[in-house]
Amino acid sequence: MANTVIEVRDVSKRYRLGTENLPYRTIREAVLGWIGRSSSGETEMRDVWALRSVDLAINEGSVVGIIGRNGAGKTTLLKILCRITEPTTGVARMRGRVGALLEVGTGFHPELTGRENVFLNGAILGMGKAEIRRKFDEIVTFADIERFLDTPVKRYSSGMHMRLAFAVAAHFEPEILIVDEVLAVGDVAFQKKSLGKMDEVAREGRTVVFVSHNLAAVESLCERGILIDRGRIVEDGHARDVVSRYVRSFGAGSVERVWRDSEKAPGTDTIKLHSARVRPDGGSPFDPITTRTPIVLEFEYSNVEPGAFLNLSLHLFNEQGVLVLNAAPVEEKNWYGRPYPSGLVRDSCRLPGDLLNDGTYRVELLVVKHQTEVVYRDDEILMFEVRDEPDEQGIYGGRWQGVVRPRVKWKTNIHPIE
């Protein structure tokens, strides 16, 4: 019988914005506020609800993945679960030891040695000194830094730094583990290691709440998925279902975007976007894209400044945030490097098939003037999913590794020994 270990009831969280450039106030402002003058304009506060009436119950031993767009409220929810911040209304209750990994290596100090940092970081995470001492050798072996134990961390390479920080975090064993996606940074090997460790933790029967953009990781690690959108829980169910609904939901908003009202269209004074879409070559934006499919990205925008030298530039990022490629029309024959008349510009760019690995991709659009000056940038103009061909799972049945997925020609020759 499963016991509830996390219970969230009607939790809302309000942040006050309006002093964005000035995260803290000065006494002068506060005094002016008290005597009622700050409402006169410039320091007016804007309320933003990061979470609205969230209800949630999590059972002992379950592994729950929380997904959602940036700014949806995922991290705020985690911060409330680990009591870093207080809800504005409602209550969150946790039973058992709650350990938070919102960051790897919190409190690492560059002047301290590796050994000293292990103890400091362990204490910060919540481990007792005796516990760290007992796990110390294991941690050091895991991090593979025996020789540099008494060297200040500032002389470590970033890889060593990361390994040590992760090793401490990996040996932290609370009953309820709350992990932000910070675990999914670093190189691929590090990610594999951290995800493997998460899997291990989950198998041990501990309760894990895991926030990630890495949908594949959520699908494989978690049995339950929760989708948060604009501060509310909008989906809660089997991780697989929630992820696929999430991907579809972005599909609708992010493989094709059309701005009919030029007032609201993104752009600058002289350039306004009309549409952006991504589709498989020869198909429409809602058709599936697989690793084999050539992909077409299309953009329409109007230019009202005659004689402007313009071009688009695209950055494609994968779900780990790796910049996969930059595409710019440098080989375009008709208009590249020539002044544009005012009018509607339609740009399309075709990526060959057998290039991208499966996963979710984010497209960043730059509008460039005179080939150097970025006049407009949208870092998430489109989002799309590249899927595996159903018959093309790697021979191990898992995901093909790597950023790209070209079809590689192999040739094997065997000269048998007679």
Partner 1 sequence: MRRETRVDRRLDGWVENRAASGWRPRVDLRQLWDFRELAMALARRDVKLRYRQTLLGVAWAVIQPLLAATIFAAILGRVIKVPSEGLPYIVFVYSGLCIWTYISTTVDATARSLVDKSELVRKIYFPRLLAPIAATLPGLIDFAISLVVLVVFMVLTGVAPGLAVLLVPVWIGATIAITFTVGMTLAALNVEYRDVRYALGFLVQIWLFASPVVYPSSLIDGWQRYVYALNPVVGVLDGFRWSAVGAPLPPAADLLGIVTTVLVFIGGLVYFRRAERRFADVI
Query: Is position 111 an interface residue for partner 1 (rule: CB under 8 A)?
Result: yes
Residues 129-148 that bind partner 1 (CB under 8 A): 129-131
C-alpha–C-alpha distance, residues 244 and 219, integer Å:
9
For the bound state, the minimum distance from the C-beta of residue 23 to partner 1, rounded and expressed in Å, comes to 6
Query: Is position 61 an interface residue for partner 1 (rule: CB under 8 A)?
Result: no
Query: Is position 399 an interface residue for partner 1 (rule: CB under 8 A)?
Result: no
Nearer to partner 1, 176 or 351 (CB): 176
Q: Which two tokens stand for residue 336?
A: 């590249």
The answer to whether 51 and 8 are in contact (CB under 8 A) is no
Instruction: Give the total of residues touching partner 1 (CB under 8 A).
Output: 54
Residues 24-43 that bind partner 1 (CB under 8 A): 24-28, 30
Nearer to partner 1, 93 or 407 (CB): 93
Residue 186 φ/ψ region, left for φ over 0, alpha for ψ in the -120 to 50 degree band, beta for the rest: left
Nearer to partner 1, 86 or 144 (CB): 86
Beta pairing, strands 289-290 & 373-387? parallel
Query: Is position 103 an interface residue for partner 1 (rule: CB under 8 A)?
Result: yes
For the bound state, the minimum distance from the C-beta of residue 66 to partner 1, rounded and expressed in Å, comes to 17
For the bound state, the minimum distance from the C-beta of residue 321 to partner 1, rounded and expressed in Å, comes to 20
C-alpha–C-alpha distance, residues 413 and 153, integer Å:
49
Out of 56, 66, 67, 127, point to the residue binding partner 1 (CB under 8 A): 127
For the bound state, the minimum distance from the C-beta of residue 235 to partner 1, rounded and expressed in Å, comes to 24
The answer to whether 115 and 137 are in contact (CB under 8 A) is no
Q: Name the nearest CA neighbour of 302 among 329, 259, 275, 273.
A: 273
Out of 61, 96, 251, 294, point to the residue binding partner 1 (CB under 8 A): 96
The answer to whether 351 and 401 are in contact (CB under 8 A) is no
Q: What is the DSSP string of 371-415?
A: TTEEEEEEEEEEEEEEE--GGG--TTSSPPPSSB-PPPP------
Beta bridge partners of 1: none
For the bound state, the minimum distance from the C-beta of residue 203 to partner 1, rounded and expressed in Å, comes to 15
Query: Is position 15 an interface residue for partner 1 (rule: CB under 8 A)?
Result: yes
Residue with tokens 């509607």: 344
Nearer to partner 1, 125 or 227 (CB): 125
Residues 220-259 that bind partner 1 (CB under 8 A): none
Instruction: Tally the C-alpha atoms within 13 A of residue 145's C-alpha that lie toward its C-beta.
Output: 29
Q: CA of 181: how far to CAs of 204, 213, 214, 242, in Å?
A: 20, 7, 8, 18
C-alpha–C-alpha distance, residues 168 and 141, integer Å:
11
Out of 32, 60, 102, 329, point to the residue binding partner 1 (CB under 8 A): 102
Query: Is position 156 an interface residue for partner 1 (rule: CB under 8 A)?
Result: no
Where on the chain is the footprint of partner 1 (CB under 8 A)? 7, 15, 23-28, 30, 79-100, 102-103, 106-107, 109, 111-112, 116, 119-120, 123-131, 172-175
